[in-house]
């Protein structure tokens, strides 16, 4: 049961970890300092959440491990984030679209997770949802600006929506750990708000004068630890210090 809870925690926290890492790559390179600050802020929030989750997972574990062991010392196949969040920062259109598609999900997830029978998980969700409701507003506002901005911005962000759309379905797939956590009342059944998610997303895309993709082919694998080719490079960066200097305190 404890092992399952740990696995369930990773399923949530790895998304924040990997998305936080992607956003951190952008610090100092944004389209304007104001946007830079906002993106960095989201990254900070996500890493803050990751720390709460991983500290809890480390405490649950029988092994003598820390939040950093969980964050930095797994193999690629052991990370269970969805493919969406590891997609690269191709341009600001992709950055915002990735954020938007994730935030809409993240908000619904945390809303439900606040009712978890696990007090720690409920508390983390309660704290995080305040941050995520800000992320959600930020990314939706930018979808509208880019979609309903110039012709160029509309085309660019539409391209990002089309390219990233295929990664959305994975958000709603249940792993074994999910199923068990749901049965125990700890976990959230994300399939219950799948319809709501796509309705919310479609409403914002329409307001942004963007087309809702109709394609029905979806990618999956992240939740089972089978990632896109981008993931290895992301981890090579993220794990660099821990791998180069094993066992040291920083």
Partner 1 sequence: MSEKEIKNLEEIFDQKIARDEKIEPKDWMPEKYRQTHIRQMSQHAHSEIVGMLPEGNWISRAPSLRRKVALLAKVQDEAGHGLYLYSATETLGVSREELYEQLHSGKAKYSSIFNYPTVTWADIGAIGWLVDGAAIINQVPLCNTSFGPYARAMVRVCKEESFHQRQGYEIMLTLSKGTKAQKEMAQDALNRWWWPSLMMFGPTDDKSTHTAQSMKWKLKRKTNDELRQQFIDQTVPQAEILGLSIPDKDLKWNEERKSYDFGEINWDEFWQVVKGHGPCNRERLQTRVNAWENGAWVRDAAMAYAEKNAERKIKKAV
Length of the chain: 250
24 versus 166: smaller Cβ distance to partner 1:
24
d(CA 101, CA 131) in angstroms, rounded, equals 16
215 versus 244: smaller Cβ distance to partner 1:
244
CB of 32 to partner 1, least distance (A): 6
Half-sphere exposure of 222 (CA within 13 A, CB side): 28
35 versus 112: smaller Cβ distance to partner 1:
35
- Sign of the CA dihedral 42, 76, 94, 201? negative
> Three-state SS for 153?
helix
CB of 183 to partner 1, least distance (A): 31
d(CA 204, CA 30) in angstroms, rounded, equals 24
For 8, 15, 85, 87, the CA distances from 222, given in Å and listed in that order, are 14, 10, 10, 11
21 versus 116: smaller Cβ distance to partner 1:
21
| Chain residues that interact with partner 1, rule: CB under 8 A | 21, 24-25, 27-37, 40-41, 43-44, 47-48, 50-51, 54, 67-68, 71-72, 91-92, 144-146, 148-150, 152-153, 156, 237-238, 240-242, 245, 248-250
45 versus 178: smaller Cβ distance to partner 1:
45
CB of 217 to partner 1, least distance (A): 29
Per the CB < 8 A criterion, the answer to whether 153 and 147 are in contact is: yes
d(CA 219, CA 83) in angstroms, rounded, equals 8
CB of 64 to partner 1, least distance (A): 16
């Amino acid at each position: 049961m404890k092992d399952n809870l740990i696995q369930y925690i990773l399923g949530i926290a790895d998304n924040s970890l990997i998305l936080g890492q992607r956003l951190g790559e952008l610090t100092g390179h944004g389209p304007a300092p104001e946007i830079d600050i906002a993106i960095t802020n989201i990254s900070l929030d996500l890493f803050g959440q990751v720390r709460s989750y991983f500290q809890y997972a480390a405490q649950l574990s029988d092994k003598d491990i820390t939040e950093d062991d969980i964050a930095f010392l797994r193999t690629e196949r052991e990370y269970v984030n969805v493919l969406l969040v590891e997609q690269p920062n191709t341009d600001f259109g992709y950055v915002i679209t990735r954020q938007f598609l994730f935030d809409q999900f993240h908000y619904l997830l945390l809303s439900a997770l606040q009712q978890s029978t696990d007090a720690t998980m409920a508390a983390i969700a309660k704290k995080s949802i305040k941050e995520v409701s800000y992320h959600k507003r930020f990314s939706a506002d930018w979808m509208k600006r880019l979609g309903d901005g110039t012709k160029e911005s509309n085309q660019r962000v539409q391209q990002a929506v089309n390219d990233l759309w295929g990664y959305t379905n994975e958000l709603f797939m249940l792993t074994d750990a999910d199923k068990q956590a749901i049965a125990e009342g700890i976990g959230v059944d994300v399939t219950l708000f799948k319809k709501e998610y796509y309705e919310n997303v479609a409403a914002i895309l329409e307001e942004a004068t963007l087309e809702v993709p109709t394609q029905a082919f979806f990618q999956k694998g992240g939740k089972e630890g089978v990632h896109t080719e981008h993931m290895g490079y992301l981890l090579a960066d993220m794990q660099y210090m821990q791998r180069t200097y094993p066992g040291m305190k920083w």
